[in-house]
């Protein structure tokens, strides 16, 4: 693929991959468009050559145009392809969901003040597979985490693994009945998360699920011979407006798992480790980002982090 970085009168044509590498070089060095072009000493090593094969560096305006008009519109689609490839791997064992702050300047009145972190910030809500970033949703710094779970889960591929083949860990801010049900529908996993000290069992056991399923015999898809198949019954109830009941059942199961595995390492710590690593690799914040291109730059940076996470497999502590 070639990218036109041209002025109207006709300009240079640079390849997509060399320009992407130059952009990643810029983000990893936490510099600017002008800074990376000015300090680029060897264009040939990145494949930045003119049509006659001579090394040629693009202007900072050319790189700016590439990022905002070429890379940003396709960053999400490229990232989704990477995510699909990771999920097809037989090595994937757990998914984790959490948000991380994207710090802003204290003078940035467009960024909300978050009382928990005590800074002005945006948020990145990230779904990971074994520490590899899969999908991200960008929001304001005061936005609640819970509503973004459905958006991220909806981006998972349609083919789901067998129940119990994946684990799913999330922050306590996702502790909601509907989230338990939607996590199960998307992944076949019972979500594990930090629950409040006042959390209590709702008494929705398998027998109650079976009883509710039996009363829905008039509905399309009902099968009297599947009353022993808990997974089938839970998905049937979700499809027919009983997500809250399913969520209560799954939360009860999650509480029992938490009680029986108190000494088990919480895999959500992987999220925290990767978030710290990501911010060492790149300036994953909204400092010095222009408002009109902020979301585009965050999408491009997240794509860069996805690519880097595939290169550095041993970053987890």
Q: Indicate whether 79 and 112 sit together in one domain.
A: no
- 303 part of a folded domain: no
pLDDT at 11 over 70: no
pLDDT at 120 over 90: yes
Q: Indicate whether 58 and 173 sit together in one domain.
A: no
Residue 18's pLDDT is what? 87
- Write out pLDDT tens, residues 14-34: 888 889 999 999 999 999 999
pLDDT category, 267, cuts 50, 70, 90? low
The dihedral over CA atoms of 128, 131, 132, 136, expressed in degrees to the nearest 10, equals: 30
Q: Indicate whether 153 and 56 sit together in one domain.
A: no
Q: Indicate whether 32 and 171 sit together in one domain.
A: no
Residue 315's pLDDT is what? 45
User: Where is the domain boundary, 260, 291, 306?
Assistant: 260
269 contacts: CB under 8 Å, gap ≥ 6: none
pLDDT higher for 56 or 248?
248
Residue 263's pLDDT is what? 41
- 39 part of a folded domain: yes
Q: Identify the domain containing residue 6 by its residue range.
A: 2-84
Instruction: Give mean pLDDT, residues 229-237.
Output: 95
- Write out pLDDT tens, residues 129-145: 988 999 999 999 999 99
Q: Indicate whether 76 and 101 sit together in one domain.
A: no
Report the predicted TM-score, pTM, of the whole model to 2 decimal places.
0.87
Give the total number of structural domains in the chain.
2
Q: Which residues of 23-61 are buried (b: 16+ CB within 10 A; e: fewer)?
A: bbebbeeeeebeebbeebeebeebebbeeeeeeebbebe
Q: Indicate whether 128 and 189 sit together in one domain.
A: yes
Instruction: Give mean pLDDT, residues 249-264.
Output: 76
Question: What share of the chain in percent tops pLDDT 70?
Answer: 87
Q: Indicate whether 130 and 193 sit together in one domain.
A: yes
């Amino acid at each position: 693929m070639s990218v036109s970085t041209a002025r109207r009168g006709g300009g240079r044509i640079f390849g997509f991959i060399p320009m992407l590498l130059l952009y990643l070089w810029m983000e990893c060095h936490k510099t600017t468009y002008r800074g990376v072009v000015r300090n680029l000493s060897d264009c040939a090593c990145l494949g930045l050559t003119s049509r006659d094969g001579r090394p040629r560096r693009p202007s900072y305006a050319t790189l700016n145009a590439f990022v905002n008009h070429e890379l940003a519109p396709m960053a999400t689609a490229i990232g989704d392809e990477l995510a699909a490839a990771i999920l097809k791997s037989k090595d994937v064992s757990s998914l984790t969901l959490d948000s991380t702050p994207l710090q802003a300047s204290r003078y940035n009145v467009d960024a909300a003040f978050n009382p928990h972190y005590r800074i002005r910030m945006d948020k990145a809500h990230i779904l990971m597979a074994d520490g590899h970033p899969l999908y991200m949703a960008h929001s304001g710094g005061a936005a609640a985490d819970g509503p973004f779970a459905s958006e991220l889960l909806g981006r998972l591929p349609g083919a789901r693994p067998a129940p119990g083949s994946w684990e799913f860990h999330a922050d306590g801010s996702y502790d909601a009945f509907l989230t338990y049900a939607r996590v199960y529908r998307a992944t076949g996993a019972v979500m594990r998360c930090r629950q409040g000290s006042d959390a209590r069992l709702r008494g929705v056991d398998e027998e109650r699920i079976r009883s509710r399923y039996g009363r829905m015999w008039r509905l399309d898809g009902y099968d009297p011979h599947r009353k022993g198949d808990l997974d089938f019954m839970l998905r049937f109830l979700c499809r027919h407006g009983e997500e809250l009941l399913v969520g209560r059942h799954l939360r009860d199961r999650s509480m029992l798992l938490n009680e029986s595995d108190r000494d088990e390492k919480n895999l959500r710590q992987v999220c925290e480790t990767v978030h710290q690593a990501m911010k060492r690799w790149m300036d994953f914040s909204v400092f010095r980002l222009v408002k009109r291109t902020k979301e585009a730059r965050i999408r491009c940076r997240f794509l860069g982090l996805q690519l880097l996470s595939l290169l550095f497999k041993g970053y987890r502590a």
